[in-house]
Chain A
Amino acid sequence: MEAVAFWVLAVAAVGTGVAVFVVDSMARATFALLASFLCAGGELLLVGLRYLGVLVVLMMIMEMLVMAVFMVMYMMNPAGLMPMSMTHNRRGALAVAGGAFAALAAGILLVPWPERRGRPPRDPTVALGDAVMGSSMLVMMVIGVAILATMIATVVLATHRGRYDA
Chain B
Amino acid sequence: MTLETFLLLAAALFCVGLYGALSQQSIVMLMMGIELMVNGVVVAAAGFWHWVSPGSADGQVLVLVAITVMALEMAMGFAVVTALFRARDVDMTDDAGDLRG
Interface of A toward B, CB cutoff 8 Å:
2-3, 6, 10, 13-14, 17-18, 20-21, 26, 29-30, 33, 36-37, 40, 43-44, 46-49, 52, 55-56, 59, 63, 66-67, 70-71, 74-76, 86-90, 92-94, 96-98, 100-101, 104-105, 108-109, 113-114, 116-121, 124, 127-128, 130-132, 136, 139, 143, 146-147, 150-151, 153-155, 157-158, 160, 162-164
A94 to B74, CA, bound (A): 24
Number of interface residues of B (CB under 8 A): 71
Across-interface contacts of A155 in B (CB, < 8 A): 79
Contact A127 B57 (CB under 8 A): yes
Closest A-B pairs by Cβ, 9 of them? A118-B55, A93-B23, A97-B19, A131-B57, A93-B22, A104-B11, A154-B79, A101-B15, A157-B79
Across-interface contacts of A164 in B (CB, < 8 A): 87
Interface of B toward A, CB cutoff 8 Å:
1, 3-9, 11-20, 22-29, 32-33, 35-36, 39, 42-43, 46-47, 49-58, 60-61, 63-65, 67-68, 70-72, 74-76, 78-83, 85-87, 91-94
- Given A104-B15, A136-B57, A158-B82, decide whether A47 and B25 contact each other with a Cβ distance below 8 A: no
Across-interface contacts of B57 in A (CB, < 8 A): 124, 127-128, 130-131, 136
